[in-house]
Amino acid sequence: MVQINENYLKLQAGYLFPEIGRRVREFQQKNPQADVIKMGIGDVTQPLTPAIVKAFHEGVDEMSKASSFKGYGPEQGYEFLREAIAKNDYQSRGASIQADEIFISDGSKCDTGNIQEIFGYKNVIAVQDPVYPVYVDTSVMNGRTGNFMGNGYYEGIVYMPCTAENGFIPEIPKEKVDIIYLCYPNNPTGTTAGKEELKKWVDYAIRNKAVILYDAAYESYISDPAIPHSIYEIEGACKVAIEFRSFSKTAGFTGTRCAFTVVPKDLMAYTADGTEKPLYPLWFRRHTTKFNGVSYPVQKAAAAIYTPEGRKEIRATIDYYMNNARILRESLSKLGFQVFGGKNAPYVWVNSGRGIKSWDLFDKLLHEANVVGTPGSGFGPSGEGYFRFSSFATNENVVEAMERLKLLKW
Ligand SMILES: *Cc1c(COP(=O)(O)O)cnc(C)c1O
Q: CB neighbours of 386 closer than 8 A, spacing ≥ 6?
A: 130, 189, 349, 350, 351, 358, 376, 377
Secondary structure class of 306 (helix, strand, coil): helix
Measured in Å, residue 383 CA sits from the centre of ligand 1 at: 19
Cis peptide before 188 (omega within 30 of 0): yes
Q: Which atom of ligand 1 is nearest to the CA of 187?
A: 13
Cis peptide before 170 (omega within 30 of 0): no
Q: What does the pLDDT average to over 350-369?
A: 95
Among 45, 104, 105, 109, the mutation site with the greatest number of ligand 1 atoms within 8 A of its Cβ is: 109
Ligand 1: lining residues by beta carbon, under 6 Å: 42, 107-109, 132, 183, 187, 215, 217, 246, 248-249, 254, 259
If we measure between CA atoms, which residue out of 116, 74, 69, 134 comes closest to residue 99? 74
128-186 residue pLDDT tens: 999 999 999 999 999 999 999 989 999 999 999 999 999 999 999 999 999 999 999 99
For residue 12, the model assigns a pLDDT of 86
186-236 residue pLDDT tens: 999 999 999 999 999 999 999 999 999 999 999 999 999 999 999 999 999
Q: In terms of pLDDT, which residue wins out, 410 or 293?
A: 293
For residue 14, the model assigns a pLDDT of 64
Percent of the residues in the chain that have a pLDDT greater than 90, as a whole number: 96
Alpha helices in 66-163 (DSSP H): 79-85, 108-114, 133-141
Structural domains for the chain: 12-47+309-406 (3.90.1150.10), 53-307 (3.40.640.10)
CB atoms within 10 A of CB 260: 24
Measured in Å, residue 110 CA sits from the centre of ligand 1 at: 9
Given a contact cutoff of 8 angstroms between Cβ atoms, the answer to whether 138 and 113 are in contact is: yes
Measured in Å, residue 252 CA sits from the centre of ligand 1 at: 11
Position 42 confidence tier, pLDDT thresholds 50, 70, 90:
confident
Q: Please say whether the dihedral angle defined by the alpha carbons of residues 74, 75, 77 and 79, taken in this order, is positive or negative.
A: negative
Report the alpha-carbon distance of residue 346 to residue 321 in Å, rounded: 7
CB atoms within 10 A of CB 294: 23
Burial class for 303, CB neighbours closer than 10 Å (0-12, 13-18, 19+): buried
Measured in Å, residue 167 CA sits from the centre of ligand 1 at: 23
Q: In terms of pLDDT, which residue wins out, 42 or 379?
A: 379
Report the alpha-carbon distance of residue 204 to residue 176 in Å, rounded: 10
Position 268 confidence tier, pLDDT thresholds 50, 70, 90:
very high
Measured in Å, residue 274 CA sits from the centre of ligand 1 at: 34
Q: Which uninterrupted H or E stretch holds 397?
A: helix 395-406
Given a contact cutoff of 8 angstroms between Cβ atoms, the answer to whether 342 and 328 are in contact is: yes
CB atoms within 10 A of CB 79: 12
Report the alpha-carbon distance of residue 77 to residue 290 in Å, rounded: 14
Q: Which atom of ligand 1 is nearest to the CA of 253?
A: 9
Measured in Å, residue 24 CA sits from the centre of ligand 1 at: 23
Query: CA angle at residue 43 from 399 to 78, to 5 degrees?
Result: 135
Q: What does the pLDDT average to over 372-395?
A: 96
Q: Measure CA of the first residue to CA of the last residue in the chain; give whole Å.
A: 57
